[in-house]
């Protein structure tokens, strides 16, 4: 009998902690429920196009702001203010801060819905012979709704997975266009009603969207390729990021951006990134190393930053997932145990990086899948938790393995965390 089987996970917990019911989706449903309640309450007195526009703008504002890099960093800072002496149930919940994307999705869907209702109300008024809004407001609103539907359609999971470049371009340029349409439509609607447009909120949204691009910079990068499967990118342009952070880089200023964990070393300037071959873009980085890349925005917090909520942590990583883990091991802010599975890790990542990883924490379990086959990571994680008396597990792997390990451990009542691929 395996260690997981002997642990006897409770059936109700296995259901409650299923990935389909993760906090990301609960937050999304919460936003939908609140909007439904507002819709029902407002229906008692009737909805005007201006009121529907306000509801749409409020949701769009939430969707935009909760994705702003400084807001993300603030959310992580706030969540990690709890000391390890706080009740575990409270720290367990705070550690789920990285599910904030559920607010983004819920608000974006509701903003699109409210905009559709607004357009329907305008069209119904016009068909009944009314003139509540001008032709200009009507056509601006129609264009905005069509674009919001396009953005929502390309953001749908299967479409985004198959056509990620299309998703990124539509989200970026479509989002900018929607923002411009919001300015024009809000101004036109205010003129129709003899009121004042919500310029302060529109200005805040514009600044939020523009902020990452205002700090866009082209920087030199030194690329080492210890194997044809991996590259180590080294940066030294005056920035030394904090452990648990990532930066978005691209080969052209308005091209395809990819976020990678930063790997600072204690006492050293700059940072590194570990890139594994996982598609055309990463393959080109390895096969045709760039001399310069573009860095967008500021260093942003990632899931592993929640480690300080716990007294002892087990890190589970596969392949280049060691990149987000290594800065925490080097910093040593929290006692940690490492479980790392990779194919020929020394040959793939080079002697220097392998030795750095192996020496970063006591008793690391480094599993070579080329010689030992694929491990049962959930079992290895459970054994490490029991042996190390850890309070939580942080998993950095591919989507399938991350969800599997997190679910198995949480079904046993062990706090477990891992990326949710919502960006």
Contact 107, 59 (CB under 8 A): yes
- pLDDT for 403: 93
Q: Which of 135, 212, 216 is nearest to 175 (CA)?
A: 212
Instruction: Please count the CA atoms within 13 angstroms of the CA of 232 that sit on its side-chain side.
Output: 18
Contact 83, 310 (CB under 8 A): no
pTM of the model: 0.91
What whole-number distance in Å separates Cα of residue 287 and Cα of residue 110? 43
Exposed / middle / buried, residue 11 (Cβ in 10 Å: 0-12, 13-18, 19+): exposed
What whole-number distance in Å separates Cα of residue 290 and Cα of residue 296? 16
Q: H or E element: which one contains 367?
A: strand 365-368
Domains of the chain: 21-214 (no CATH), 217-303 (2.40.30.10), 304-418 (3.40.50.80)
Tokens representing 21 are 């019911």
Contact 317, 397 (CB under 8 A): yes
- pLDDT for 3: 46
What whole-number distance in Å separates Cα of residue 29 and Cα of residue 24? 9
In a structure prediction context, what are the per-residue pLDDT tens digits for the chain, which is 423 residues long?
Answer: 344 444 556 677 778 778 878 999 999 999 999 999 999 998 877 888 899 999 999 999 999 999 999 999 999 999 999 999 999 999 999 999 999 999 999 999 999 999 999 999 999 988 888 888 999 999 999 999 999 999 999 998 888 888 888 999 999 999 999 999 999 999 999 999 889 999 999 999 999 999 999 999 999 999 999 999 999 999 999 999 999 999 999 999 988 899 999 999 888 899 999 999 888 899 999 999 999 999 999 999 999 999 999 999 999 999 999 999 999 999 999 999 999 999 999 999 999 999 999 999 999 999 999 999 999 999 999 999 999 999 999 999 999 999 999 999 999 999 999 988 776
Strand arrangement of the beta sheet that strand 222-227 belongs to: 222-227, 230-235, 271-276
Long-range contacts from 407-410, C-beta under 8 angstroms, 24+ separation: 407/14, 407/17, 407/18, 407/19, 408/4, 408/9, 408/378, 408/382, 409/378, 409/381, 409/382, 409/385, 410/13, 410/17
What whole-number distance in Å separates Cα of residue 47 and Cα of residue 118? 9
């Amino acid at each position: 009998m395996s260690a997981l089987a002997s642990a006897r996970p409770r059936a109700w917990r296995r259901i409650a902690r299923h990935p389909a019911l993760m906090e990301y989706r609960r937050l999304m449903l919460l936003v939908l429920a609140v909007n439904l309640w507002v819709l029902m309450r407002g229906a008692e007195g009737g909805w005007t196009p201006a009121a529907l526009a306000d509801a749409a703008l409020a949701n769009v504002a939430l969707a935009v702001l909760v994705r702003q890099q400084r807001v993300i960093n603030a959310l992580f800072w706030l969540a990690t203010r709890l000391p390890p002496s706080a009740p575990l149930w409270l720290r367990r919940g705070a550690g789920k801060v990285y599910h904030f994307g559920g607010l983004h999705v819920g608000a974006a869907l509701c903003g699109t819905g409210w905009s559709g209702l607004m357009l329907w109300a305008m069209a119904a008024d016009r068909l009944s012979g009314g003139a509540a809004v001008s032709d200009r407001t009507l056509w601006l609103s129609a264009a905005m709704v069509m674009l919001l539907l396009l953005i929502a359609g390309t953001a749908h999971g299967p479409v985004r997975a198959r056509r990620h470049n299309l998703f990124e371009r539509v989200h970026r340029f479509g989002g900018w266009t929607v923002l411009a349409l919001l300015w024009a439509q809000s101004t036109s609607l205010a003129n129709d009603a003899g009121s004042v447009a919500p310029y302060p909120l529109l200005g805040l949204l514009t600044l939020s969207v523009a902020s990452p691009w205002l700090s866009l910079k082209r920087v030199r990068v030194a690329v080492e390729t210890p194997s044809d499967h991996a590259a180590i990118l080294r940066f030294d342009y005056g920035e030394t990021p904090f452990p648990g952070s990532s930066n978005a880089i691209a080969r052209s200023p308005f091209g395809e951006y990819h976020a990678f964990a930063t790997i600072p070393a204690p006492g050293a300037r700059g940072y590194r990134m570990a890139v594994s071959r996982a598609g055309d873009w990463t393959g080109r980085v390895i096969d045709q190393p760039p001399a310069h890349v573009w860095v967008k925005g500021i260093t942003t917090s990632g899931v592993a930053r929640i480690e300080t909520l716990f007294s002892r942590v087990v890190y589970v990583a596969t392949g280049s997932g060691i990149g987000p883990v290594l800065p925490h091991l080097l910093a040593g802010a929290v006692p940690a145990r490492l479980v790392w599975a990779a194919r020929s890790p020394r040959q793939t990542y080079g002697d220097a990086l392998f030795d750095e990883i192996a020496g970063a924490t006591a008793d690391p379990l480094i599993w070579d899948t080329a010689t030992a086959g694929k491990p049962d990571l959930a079992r290895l994680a459970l054994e490490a938790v029991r042996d190390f008396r850890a309070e939580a597990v942080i998993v950095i792997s591919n989507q399938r393995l991350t969800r599997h390990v997190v679910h198995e451990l949480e079904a046993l009542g062990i706090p477990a965390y891992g990326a949710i691929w919502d960006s």
